[in-house]
Structure formats: structure tokens, C-alpha cells
Amino acid sequence: MSPSATSPLRRRAYVLALRVFRALPAPARRGLVRAGTPGFTVGAVVAVTHGSDVLFLRQPHRVGWSLPGGLLDRGERPAEGVVREVREETGLDVEVGLPVATAVDARVRRVDVVYRLRVDERPRVAVGGEAQGFRWIALDELRDADDSTRAIVRVLQQSERPGCYDGRVLPR
């Protein structure tokens, strides 16, 4: 509900409801928010890049190639989760910077925090965990990947465009 587009009486009722909500104990507020909003799974992935090539993995639960990463454990921060997943899947110990993007798939209720890690030399990859193989592939040459990976690749490609992080105020 947009209070600015409603009658003054509805707006007052909305403001009153917000004040009552704010007065509730924090656990009750969290419970109400969780009950009234969709739940999403959250994952973190990393594009390990060497020149124009990106490290992709073969995993039995995915169709085609996918990026290293996976779902976060409860209470885990995205950077911690992606570091853990990369170690499990590739044998690499990494440190990530800030995320370059977030990919949201509302259809399957999934959010992926996307990191990029640029390397000067290709590291020695030792597949493990669920990973069954790896390959270095240029993003524009990736053909064999599932919808989720393709969506993340599109976000990565968009993040390289000049001005992609600049928003603007639109005229009315």
C-alpha cells in the first residue's frame, strides 16, 4: 500500500499500524515480517577470472557448467560462504573483496551474491566436494549452463559496462 496515494484516513491508519509494529518486541516484529514476506534462499558465487577466461565447474546437481559457490549456511556471511565453498570445490584458499553484483531470481526465490576474483596466473585447481571437473571459459563463449548460471553471467557482463552502477532521478 502506498500511503501517499490513499485517503487521509487510510494514511493515518497506516501510520498508526507502523507505530504499533515498532512498539512490538523485536522477535514479534521479525515473526510478522517472515510470515508476511516470501522466503528466499541465499547463495554466494565467485567468478575467478584469468584474462577473459572464467573458472567454471561441473557439478552433479547442476546442468552444464557453473561458478564456484553455493548456498550459505544459517548465519553465515556471503564472503565467508563463498570462501568455504571455493575451498571445498576447488581446493583454493581465496580472499574476496566486495560483491560486484546481486542476482535475484524471484521465480525460484533465490538470491546470489556475486564476487569477482582476478588472478594473474591460473591457480592449480583440485576439484573436490560436489565438483567433478573444471574448465576455463570466456563468458561470451559459455554455451552449456543452466538458467541460474546464465543469469549470473549476464549480471557479471553488465557489471563491466561503464556507468552500470550510476542511477539517476527520473523526470515526472
- Please count the other Cβ atoms lying within 10 Å of the Cβ belonging to residue 98: 7
82's enclosing H/E stretch is helix 78-90
- Please count the other Cβ atoms lying within 10 Å of the Cβ belonging to residue 105: 15
pLDDT tens per residue, range 49-83? 999 999 999 998 888 999 999 999 989 999 999 99
Cell of 57: 565447474
> What sign for the dihedral angle of Cα 107, 148, 145, 91?
negative
pLDDT tens per residue, range 101-158? 999 988 888 999 999 999 999 999 999 988 999 999 999 999 999 888 999 999 999 8
Q: What is the 3-state secondary structure (H, E, C) of 102-128?
A: EEEECCCCEEEEEEEEECCCCCCCCCC
Q: Is 140 exposed, middle or buried (0-12, 13-18, 19+ CB in 10 A)?
A: exposed
Contact between residue 44 and residue 80 where contact means Cβ atoms under 8 Å apart: no
